[in-house]
Structure 1
């Protein structure tokens, strides 16, 4: 079903040995939030009663701090942008638009003034804003299109990229719905339970239409490693998480492919998640030493289309 087999090593811009796509899913922007508090209490219960990895006291301290002295919404984004700027890197942030006050819904409104300030920070840093496809909008072209329109109306941003919440994906329905909604690229294609490229895809590709066998118009930027996979789903700590991530990244680098990282914004500046931020910083240091071409998804999408067109011309 997936087109463009990874048999040819791309000639990335500037002669870079591989490309790097840094991305962040914005599930929430505020600490003091009802569903976050409930989730924290449920996590403490699991830590105490089910033997889940982690420290209940640290989780409780984090919950108390979020209630008494919540972080400014902009702080985590400032930290991310500063970490990436050390290496001259720029990234993409996917903004969630979905139903409010639902378990898997949105935790903020697109009209929140704090989000507007965050968007300006991202754009001033040369980053990109895309859509985080809502759980309750899954595979619905009209709902995806509504999210694009809402983002444009609220922030003046015309999103060209999307990644679905919780990496929800079905083939080919997800691609067809996203394409019908007007998106140019997707960044959902990956695993949540283990690091490494899904189906061995190490470079961007155009999926094939299930009936005609012809490439779709939407481009896929496949995922390599997600933070949640390492720390929650696999239960790894800092050093072990770093090496597990690098074991998944190294083959993509060797193939001259696209390394895609997904790190959530709310794991920065957090005592409970200190390994998450530490691992992200160490990964960027290792990657920067290898001189990749790093760009937001929209630029990678545009470059790949031109590269493919030149190769077929």
Structure 2
């Protein structure tokens, strides 16, 4: 096929066509083609082995019946097969990229914050959390379809999308001073005493902004508008913000961010009853959200954001593991199988988070090695989302962790 304008024609039940259309658009991210319903270059998609692209009866069944448990979808590997043994790359991509494994009613698959458990995912089952499987399968789909084989491949270097969740502020130098005294570090004690007149948070924010700006990283800063504690279903008391979004010193910090090239976001709080109200308390122009603790079920969150006219989300990551929650490295418009059309939301999945490595007991050096290995593996076709909390830039309280972030950003600058 010489033309890059392609018309996909479906000989399938109407119910499954919209999700397939929403999946096929991903081809435009990586190959030189344009999907055009008026084009005479037709590619047929059906259950028939003689069609240009064969879709499995299994995918049709699970989608029509809304039976998305990966234990029933995948057998020995994370790939759906047709009845004749042919891999169903398209159906598998649709299942993975739209988070369909999370549309289940099994309470055991969600934790006390309604987060989908990593241990209940197919990524955990098949040890494939660090694999960009959707990209791999799109390439296989293209290579196995005669009419797509001549398509050129786009040259897309991986970029870093950085963000900083402002869960808490230091307010004063006391936390660092306590740490320095506890470890009997006279040099650190003296350093703290000589800068008591400075707001410690302002100094940290200026450091982060300098790192991001020097490396042309347009980071997003997510703020909490709620400082009330949250009681989880297990009875655990969890803190939201330890600051008041309306206090002047916080306003000064936000103003400093707005003067830079950075973006403001809402960090939807635990127990939030009105995401629009929380957004407006920070800045009514905010158009991106990330849930505090990455809490909640994604479909319910996206539906709530649609009502609030917040068009971007950055919640979809696993707090317990680095990698791809939907097996794909670029932002996507997730599909809603309940309403059978896409959400009016762009999801910017989270891939790398500082707390993940701390909870795993890794040192800063060990975490840096894991992260850089991951980045080297995915040099192309990704927008890697990196979350580094403001607190962890304190070299007294969290020595070495700010340097890991710098290393990530420097690597990105040198390799893009």
Give the Cα–Cα distance (whole angstroms) in 1 for the partners of residues 172 and 394 of structure 2. 15
Distance of aligned partners of 1:84 and 1:179 in 2 relative to their CA distance in 1, 3 Å threshold: same
Give the Cα–Cα distance (whole angstroms) in 2 for the partners of residues 109 and 134 of structure 1. 13
Partner of 2:249: 114
Partner of 2:408: 283
Give the Cα–Cα distance (whole angstroms) in 1 for the partners of residues 366 and 297 of structure 2. 31
The structure with higher relative contact order (CA 8 Å, sep 6+) is 1
Larger C-alpha radius of gyration, 1 or 2?
Answer: 2
Deviations 1:35-80 (A, max 9, x none): x89xxx9xx9xxxxxxxxxx994499999x79x9585331111000
Q: Secondary structure at the match of 1:196?
A: coil
Asked whether the 8 Å contact 2:316–2:350 carries over to 1, the reply is yes
Give the Cα–Cα distance (whole angstroms) in 1 for the partners of residues 228 and 351 of structure 2. 30
Partner of 1:244: 370
**Is 2:260 the partner of 1:125?**
yes
**Is 2:166 the partner of 1:26?**
yes
Q: Report deviation, 1:31.
A: 4.0
**Is 2:379 the partner of 1:253?**
yes
Number of residues paired by the alignment?
263
Deviations 1:9-47 (A, max 9, x none): 458xxx76123211000012234599x89xxx9xx9xxx
Q: Secondary structure at the match of 1:172?
A: helix
Asked whether the 8 Å contact 2:372–2:408 carries over to 1, the reply is yes
Over 6 Å off, 4+ runs: 59-63
Higher helix share: 1
Distance of aligned partners of 1:117 and 1:197 in 2 relative to their CA distance in 1, 3 Å threshold: same
Q: TM-score, normalised by structure 1?
A: 0.73
**Is 2:324 the partner of 1:201?**
no
Q: TM-score, normalised by structure 2?
A: 0.56
Q: Report deviation, 1:100.
A: 3.0
Partner of 1:83: 211
Give the alignment of 1:300-311 within 5 angstroms.
none
RMSD (Å) for aligned C-alpha atoms: 3.4
**Is 2:232 the partner of 1:92?**
no
Selected match of 2:361 from 224, 231, 235: 235
Distance of aligned partners of 1:7 and 1:73 in 2 relative to their CA distance in 1, 3 Å threshold: same
